[in-house]
């Protein structure tokens, strides 16, 4: 199965995507994780992405699309994957469609995790106390939420029109959310 997991920052996409990837026997591909890995390793891609991420802005599509194209070409992603944090713009949706189309493949399902804004901010506040991501400050988080609403939330409608969208409650404990996802997808 080729799945996308979408939702605002702090919705719990990463944790759920890891479990779901195991379930569908494919890699968990998080564009945010790949960027952070590159920032830590001080690669050229990391240097390019860092200023956008620190400001809570999206990394330009050309950069993100090229990175995802390379990652999806790896053999482990041939028949199943869970994409976490991609696509986030209309351009990225079109790129993903083209990439899959070229292989005669398509997205099997899109999970949207729905969590109220105030809970998102509270969750991220806890996450930043634990680990500290450079984009988890309150001000940047609020900006990331606004960018999500403006650029990414509207994309869900298109997936809904294709009959691919599972809009699920992302509140409650991890296990409850995991069960909702598995039940919706029948996995």
> Which residues lie near ligand AMP (CB under 6 A)?
9, 31-32, 35, 52-53, 56-59, 64, 85-86, 88, 92, 135, 144
Output the smallest distance, CB 163 to ligand AMP, in A: 23
Chain position whose Cβ is nearest to ligand AMP: 32
State the distance between the two ends of the chain, measured CA to CA, in whole angstroms: 10
- Cβ closest to ligand AMP, residue 16 vs residue 31: 31
Which is nearer to ligand AMP, 2 or 144 (by Cβ)? 144
Is 46:40 a contact under the CB 8 Å cutoff? Answer: yes
> Quick one: which of 26, 19, 28, 12 has its CA closest to 168?
12
At residue 83, the 3 state secondary structure works out as: strand
Q: How far is the CB of 186 from ligand AMP (least distance, A)?
A: 26
In the bound complex, what is the minimum distance in angstroms from residue 124's beta carbon to ligand AMP? 10
- What separation in angstroms does the CA of 145 have from each of 7, 11, 83, 138? 10, 11, 19, 11
């Amino acid at each position: 199965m080729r799945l996308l997991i979408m939702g605002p920052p702090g919705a719990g996409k990463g944790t759920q995507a890891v479990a779901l990837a195991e379930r569908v026997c494919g890699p968990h591909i998080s564009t945010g994780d790949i960027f952070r890995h590159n920032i830590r390793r001080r690669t050229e891609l990391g240097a390019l992405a860092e200023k956008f991420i620190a400001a809570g802005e999206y990394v330009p599509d050309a950069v993100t699309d090229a990175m995802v194209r390379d990652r999806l070409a790896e053999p482990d992603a041939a028949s199943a994957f869970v994409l976490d944090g991609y696509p986030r713009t209309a351009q990225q949706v079109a790129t993903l469609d083209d990439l899959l189309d070229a292989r005669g493949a398509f997205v099997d399902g899109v999970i949207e995790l729905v969590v109220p804004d105030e809970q998102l901010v509270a969750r991220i506040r806890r996450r930043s106390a634990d680990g500290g991501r450079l984009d988890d400050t309150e001000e940047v988080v609020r900006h990331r939420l606004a960018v999500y609403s403006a650029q990414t939330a509207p994309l869900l409608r298109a997936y809904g029109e294709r009959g691919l969208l599972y809009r699920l409650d992302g509140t409650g404990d991890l296990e409850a959310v995991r069960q909702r996802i598995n039940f919706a997808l029948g996995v």
